[in-house]
Amino acid sequence: MPLVQPLPADSNPEVAEMAKFFNETLGFCPNSVLTMMRRPAIAKAFIGLNMAVMENHGRVTSAFKRLIAYVSSNVTGCRYCQAHTIRAAERYGAEQEQMDNVWDYKTHPSFSDAERAALDLTVAASNIPNDVDQALIDEMNKHWDEGEIVEIMGVIALFGYLNRWNDSMGTTMESGAIESGEKLLSNTDWEVGKHQ
C-alpha cells in the first residue's frame, strides 16, 4: 500500500498539461507525479527540473541519460525507478547491447571510455556515503567538458530525489513500467516488490 495515493491525472489542469512530457518519455504519466500533484508547486517544479535535466545538448544523449538514471536507481535499490528508466532508455533508442551489458560497462566493448567514466561517477555519486574521489574527478575531466559533467550530475541528482521519493512512498507501479521491467530486466533480480 503506498504511503500517499496518486490523484487522478486531470485533478490539476496546469500540472496535467506539463505532465504530457512523460507521454513521450514513458508513454504515460507516472504515479509519482500524480502523487506530487497534491502540492501542485512541487509537481510543476519537478516536471520543469526533469525537462531541463533530460534536455539533449549533444554528447550526453537522451538514451545515455536514461542509462545513467537506471544505474543510479539500481545502486539505490529503487525498483520503481529501475523499471521507468530502462523503459525510457529503450524508448530513446539505447543500444540493446548496452542495456544488456550495463553492469559490465567497465570492460564491455559497447561502452566508450567516456561512458565508463560517467557510469563510474554514477555509481560513486549514488552511494551513501558519497564515493566520488579525485581520481574519478580527473577521469571525468579527461572525457567530458564542464557543461556535460553538469548534465550527467543533473541526472544522478534528479534520480537521487526520485529514488527516495518512490521507494519511501511505495509508489504503485504502472502496468507499462511492469511490462518493461519484466521484459528488459529479466536477466537481473528486478521485481515489482512493494510497488504493487
Q: What is the pLDDT of residue 1?
A: 85
CA distance readout (Å), 136 to 72, 122, 123, 145, 167: 16, 10, 11, 14, 28
Digit-coded pLDDT (tens) for 14-45: 998 999 999 999 999 999 999 999 999 999 99
On whether residue 72 sits in a domain, the answer given is yes
Q: pTM of the full predicted structure?
A: 0.96
Q: Compute the average pLDDT of residues 41-51.
A: 96
Digit-coded pLDDT (tens) for 85-141: 999 999 999 999 999 999 999 999 999 999 999 999 999 999 999 999 999 999 999
Model confidence at 151: pLDDT above 90: yes
Burial label for 32, CB within 10 Å (0-12, 13-18, 19+), is buried
Specify the amino acid at residue 193: G
Question: Range of 167's domain?
Answer: 19-195
On whether residue 12 sits in a domain, the answer given is no
CATH code of the domain covering residue 49: 1.20.1290.10
Long-range CB pairs of 92-98 (<8 Å, 24+ gap) are 92/25, 92/61, 92/62, 92/63, 92/66, 93/62, 93/63, 94/63, 94/64, 94/66, 94/67, 95/63, 98/67
On whether residue 102 sits in a domain, the answer given is yes
